[in-house]
């Protein structure tokens, strides 16, 4: 237990040192651009981070309100896309014919850039909220489907044969074996998709949505250097939204898949 505490304390110290180093390098870079290079509008190149934090604190209620809109639409699309991806993975694991039929279309769908698809969807739907949900779901379903399918296929033939000797039906085979084996792969896909879902929603907002963090981002760019610190504040809020979603998924993964080696190792240290 003591070793585990020391190890976590050391990891926290290393993380704190890394964060401090990044902040110091950022501030030094901003000072160099502004005072040494004497560039025009230095804040637009690399602003002082303490001024960005000051603007963030000053406009925090507005940023949180608009960030909540973006987060809500992203979560809705993320959940729908995850459900679709999981259903596709199960279907393809049951039927090779379904896999061979669906795989080319799934792969082809990912060849369309988000920045190109977002205005098309927004132009067709003409509803900012629905467009954000659709785009978040679009970027989510593919990673979830691929990683979960790999997890479903990770079950060994011996395990399947053992279940069959107990007269397990297909439903029992999936419920008690395959779906559990696929959970690590599912969470891998979810963690990959989470930042993409946030990004997809913001891209729709950049196309002319009435609200959301992307709207603040566009408006601050419109006013040029006078709103550069507001622009960087929206960037930081976007990063925070993505990190929060990722951490929520990581916490759910640890809760639902405690048998994974990295979690068992931590459990032994804590003991």
Tens-digit pLDDT string for the chain (271 aa): 455 545 566 677 888 889 889 889 988 988 888 888 877 777 778 888 889 999 999 999 999 999 999 999 999 999 999 999 999 999 999 888 999 999 999 999 888 888 888 888 988 888 889 999 999 999 999 999 999 999 998 888 888 888 878 777 778 888 888 888 899 999 999 999 999 999 999 999 988 788 899 999 988 877 766 688 999 999 999 999 989 999 999 999 999 988 888 777 554 444 4
137 CB-side CA count, 13 A: 17
Looking at residue 265, what is its pLDDT?
59
Whether residue 168 contacts residue 176, with contact meaning beta carbons closer than 8 Å, is answered with: yes
pLDDT of residue 199: 92
Cβ contacts of residue 47 below 8 Å, gap of 6+?
Answer: 30, 228, 229, 232
| pLDDT of res. 2 | 52
Domain boundaries, the chain: 1-46, 47-258
* Dihedral sign of CA atoms 222, 223, 225, 227 in order: negative
**CA 264, 265, 268 angle in degrees (round to 5)?**
85
Question: What is the predicted pLDDT for the residue at 266?
Answer: 52
Contact criterion met (CB below 8 Å) for 88 and 106: yes
Spatial contact of 241 and 152, defined as CB atoms under 8 Å apart? no
| Neighbouring residues of 172: CB distance < 8 A, sequence distance ≥ 6 | 163
For the 47-258 domain, the top CATH level (class) is mainly alpha
Write down the pLDDT at residue 8: 61
């Amino acid at each position: 237990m003591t070793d585990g505490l020391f190890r976590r304390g050391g990891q926290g110290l290393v993380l704190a040192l890394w964060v401090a180093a990044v902040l110091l390098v950022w501030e030094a870079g901003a000072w160099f651009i502004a005072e040494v290079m004497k560039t025009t509008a230095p804040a637009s190149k690399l602003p002082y981070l303490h001024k960005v934090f000051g603007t963030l604190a000053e406009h925090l209620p507005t940023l949180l309100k608009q960030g909540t809109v973006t987060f809500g639409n992203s979560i809705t699309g993320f959940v729908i896309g995850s459900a679709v991806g999981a259903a596709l993975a199960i279907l393809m694991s049951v039927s090779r014919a379904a896999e061979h039929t669906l795989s080319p279309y799934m792969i082809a769908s990912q060849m369309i850039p988000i920045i190109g698809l977002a205005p098309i969807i927004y132009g067709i739907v003409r509803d900012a909220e629905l467009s954000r949900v659709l785009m978040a779901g679009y970027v989510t379903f593919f990673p979830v489907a691929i990683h979960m399918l790999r997890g479903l296929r990770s079950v060994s033939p011996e395990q399947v044969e053992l279940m069959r000797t107990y007269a397990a039906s297909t439903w029992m085979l999936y419920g008690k074996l395959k779906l559990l084996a696929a959970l690590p792969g599912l969470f891998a896909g979810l963690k990959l998709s989470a930042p993409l879902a946030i990004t997809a929603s913001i891209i729709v907002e950049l196309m002319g949505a009435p609200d959301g963090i992307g709207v603040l981002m566009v408006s601050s760019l419109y006013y040029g250097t006078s709103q550069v610190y507001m622009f960087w504040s929206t960037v930081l809020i976007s990063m925070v939204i993505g990190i929060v979603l990722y951490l929520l998924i990581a916490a759910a993964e640890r809760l639902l898949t405690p048998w994974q080696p990295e979690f068992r190792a931590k459990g032994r240290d804590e003991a």
